[in-house]
Structure 1
Amino acid sequence: MDWATFGYEGNDIVVAGTGTGFESLPGALPDDAPMYAYCRVDIPTEETTRTRFVLISWVGEGTSPMKKGKVSVDKPALKAVIKDVTIEIATSDRDDLTQDKVIQKVRSANY
Structure 2
Amino acid sequence: MTADVQVQEEVVRRVMSMTQIDRDGLRDAYSEVRDDKTEISWAVLKYEGSQVMVAAKGEAFEDFKSQFSEDERAFAYIRLQTGDEMSKRSKFLLVTWVGLGVSPIKKAMMSTDKALVKEILANFSVELTLESMEELDIEVFRQELVKAGGANYGTGIRE
Normalised by the length of structure 2, the TM-score is 0.65
The Cα offsets for residues 36-62 of structure 1, whole Å up to 9 and x where unpaired, read as 010011114121211001000001111
Paired position in structure 2 for 1:74 = 113
SS in 2 for 1:25: helix
For 1:36-55, list aligned pairs within 5 A.
Answer: 36-55=75-94
Determine the C-alpha separation between the residues in 1 that align with 2:116 and 2:143. Answer: 27
Deviating more after overlay: 43-52 vs 72-81: 43-52
**1:64 partnered with 2:103:** yes
Q: Which has the higher contact order (CA 8 A, sep 6+)?
A: 1
* 18-27 vs 70-79, which moves further: 18-27
Off by >3 Å, runs of 4+ in structure 1: none
Looking at structure 2, the residues matched to 32 and 96 of structure 1 have their Cα atoms a distance apart, in angstroms, of 15
Alignment of 1:1-111 (within 5 A): 2-110=41-149
Q: Is the 8 A contact 1:22 1:97 kept in 2?
A: no
- Structure 1 stretches of 5 or more lacking a match? none
Question: Structure 2: which 5+ runs fail to align?
Answer: 1-39, 151-159
- The structure where strand makes up a greater share of residues is 1
In structure 1, what is the Cα distance between the partners aligned to 2:89 and 2:119?
Answer: 24
**Identical aligned residues as a percent:** 31
- How far 1:110 moved relative to its partner? 2.2
- Matches of 1:38 and 1:63, distance apart in 2: 21
| Letter paired with 2:56 | G
Counterpart amino acid of residue 90 in structure 1: T
Q: C-alpha separation between the residues in 1 aligned to 2:146 and 2:133?
A: 20
Larger proportion of helix: 2
What are the superposed Cα offsets for residues 7-63 of structure 1, whole Å, 9 maximum, x if unpaired?
Answer: 112221111111212222221012111100100111141212110010000011111
